[in-house]
Amino acid sequence: MSDRFKFYNYTLTTDPHLLEKGNQVPPELEWKIEKFFSKARKGGKSNINYIKKAIERFPNSPHLKNYLAVAYMNTEMEEESYKVNDRLIEEHPQYLFGILNKANEYLNKGEHEKMPGLMGENMELKDLYPEREMFHVTEMISFLETAIHYFIADNNFEATKSRVELLKELDPQNPLVLSFESTLSILGIGDEGMPFGKDKYFPKPEFRTYDKSVQTEQAPTFQNEIINKLYEAGFDIDQGIFEEILVLPRESAIQDLKKVLHDSVSRYDYFGKQVDKGNVGEAKLSFPIHATFLLGEMKASEAVEDVLECLRQGEDFLNFWYHDVLFEVYWQPLYKILPENQDTLKKFMFEPGIYTTAKSVISQTYLQYYLHNPEKREEIVAWYKEVLNTYLTTGNKNLVDGELIAFMVCEVLDAKFDELLPLIEQLYDADYVEEYIAGTKEEVLNDFGKVPPVSPKQPLLSIFEQYDEILNDWHFDEEDEEDEELLFEDWDADNWDESDEDLDDMLLQNLVEAKDNQNDIDHSDQAPIRRVPKIGRNEPCPCGSGKKYKKCCGKNG
């Protein structure tokens, strides 16, 4: 098979069919599995209960129980997560990711000396499964990752370094490789062979959070009744609603759309609680996105401060409302209001404590503005020079953000602004550029002027074209009542309450059966318990295929 390859003494594969068999995913569940993956990452009471229902329906699928443990972990309920994983190991003792979850529990509790008892004294995957001839690449990556954590905790530099080199050889562009190399350097156990040198720290501001002083449960009233329809649908919204709003009297329409943005700030707590209770699905949480794109379509430059006020609300707020939209396409409406607001946007870049992506999207907008208007080169170069030079020379430590500067270095590279190379070198010399994002100074200097494999210039789209693209090409976790009725048909949701008593009984009842069937259970592709950031569409797919998420599992979810 072309998807198989030799890796030292292992035969690895990226074939998803190996994982499907190992997961024991029945056909009626397979089409929803990515939904469970997303819900586990998000956590929250409603997502926990959703996964519990699935376990009741499919009690012999270990990956669902792993998802439940992950959901508890991402809801800050660590002990509940550990309990679920203990039951998972009891029912499915050969399930690799249950073992790795337990190993990470020991690590989190400062009991790393117990990890070899689970993973083998030699920390070798084949020692756990001598009967297996083939492993999925995700299994190897996850095992190596956990082993590296063990050797770091055990102060065993040589073993740590050897595992990092294995991981790097397996997938040299995987962010896990870079993060581990960076971790070694930060811990002071790196050497000249590590890309980031010794003891290197990159600046990170203390970010602001959302405005708690304005929280309310009072919904706004609008001059134009049709604005309320923005609260009723996600990206599959009837685009005729957009058409109707765009022909409204301009002043009243803009005022109403501003209210929508302010509502996302003032009722952030309210909607968060509604989501946790399961009263509001994600499909009805897109109204600030709709409003932002409508304001962009109207070229409503007078709404720039309202848009920026949303961007000031911090990481949790922006992830709650905008997800990958912020990093991927939010620049589109900003682009349409940029020409008349350059001074305002520049001042925003100089505000301390603003979340990285909120500023990065401004820089991203300027890059696209230049690529579509090359005659503006001198003007845009001056903008980047002033912003980056301010970060280099400021005495405000809460303004300098190594990740933001790294993203801006990438954009300078894409734009081929060679006159900024001396400034970029100074930023590197000051240790202000997060190297796992932009690369080392030597790599940037070497790559400067080269033609990138993919053009950085992105097409300018209307609001209608943008929504069509999102619906056709993106994966996003929209609630679908019809799908849920199909998935949970004949399930008794009343059997589930806020405690785990029913889950305990159900798992115990199936323990004997699960053990009897254990020889038929292979190993799943689910990642071990960890709090992970939301997977961006351009990040490597967690299945280990080596493709970007949007081209792999993200496309099929």
Q: Which domains does the chain have, with CATH numbers?
A: 4-8+16-202+476-556 (no CATH), 212-433 (1.25.10)
**Residue 329, pLDDT score:** 93
Q: Which two tokens stand for residue 484?
A: 């849920």
Roughly what angle, to the nearest 10 degrees, separates helices 287-297 and 239-246? 50
**Residue 375, pLDDT score:** 97
- Name the 3-class secondary structure at 6: strand
**Residue 202, pLDDT score:** 79
281 half-sphere exposure, CB direction, 13 A CA radius: 12
**Residue 253, pLDDT score:** 98
Residue 493 in contact with residue 53, Cβ under 8 Å?
yes
Any idea what the Cα angle at residue 284 is, between residues 280 and 290, rounded to 5°? 155
Residue 141 in contact with residue 7, Cβ under 8 Å?
no
- Ranges of the chain whose pLDDT falls below 70: 1-6, 15-34, 171-177, 179-201, 282, 453, 474-557
- Which H helix or E strand runs over 20? helix 16-23
Any idea what the Cα angle at residue 318 is, between residues 312 and 322, rounded to 5°? 130
Residue 524 in contact with residue 66, Cβ under 8 Å?
yes
Looking at 74-172, list the stretches that DSSP marks H as alpha helix, in order from N- to C-terminal side: 78-91, 96-108, 115-119, 125-128, 137-153, 157-170
Residues 6+ apart with CB under 8 A from 56: 491, 495, 496, 506
- Name the 3-class secondary structure at 335: helix
- Say what the alpha-carbon torsion angle 333, 337, 342, 343 is, to the nearest 10 degrees: -110
Would the pTM count as exceeding 0.85? no
Q: What is the CA radius of gyration of the chain?
A: 25
Instruction: Report the alpha-carbon distance of residue 405 to residue 388 in Å, rounded.
Output: 7
Residue 177 in contact with residue 165, Cβ under 8 Å?
no
* CB < 8 Å & 24+ apart, contacts of 482-491: 483/32, 486/28, 487/28, 487/29, 487/32, 487/54, 487/57, 488/53, 488/57, 491/53, 491/56, 491/57
* Closest to 271 in 3D by CA, of 329, 310, 215, 189: 215
> Given the DSSP bridges, would you call strands 134-136 and 10-13 parallel, antiparallel or unpaired?
parallel
Give strand pairing partners of 13: 4, 136
Looking at 156-311, list the stretches that DSSP marks H as alpha helix, in order from N- to C-terminal side: 157-170, 175-186, 239-246, 250-266, 268-276, 287-297, 304-311
Residue 529 in contact with residue 101, Cβ under 8 Å?
yes
**Residue 137, pLDDT score:** 82
Which DSSP state fits 547? Answer: S
Any idea what the Cα angle at residue 180 is, between residues 175 and 181, rounded to 5°? 100
Q: Is 524 exposed, middle or buried (0-12, 13-18, 19+ CB in 10 A)?
A: buried
Q: Which two tokens stand for residue 305?
A: 């401060």
Instruction: Report the alpha-carbon distance of residue 483 to residue 360 in Å, rounded.
Output: 36
For 324-361, what is each residue's pLDDT tens digit? 788 889 999 999 999 999 999 999 999 999 999 999 99
In one letter, which amino acid is 122? N
Backbone φ/ψ region at 537: left (φ over 0), alpha (ψ -120 to 50), beta: alpha
Residues 6+ apart with CB under 8 A from 230: 237, 241, 260, 286, 287, 290, 291
**Residue 428, pLDDT score:** 94
What backbone torsions phi and psi does residue 24 show, to the nearest 5 degrees? 50, 50
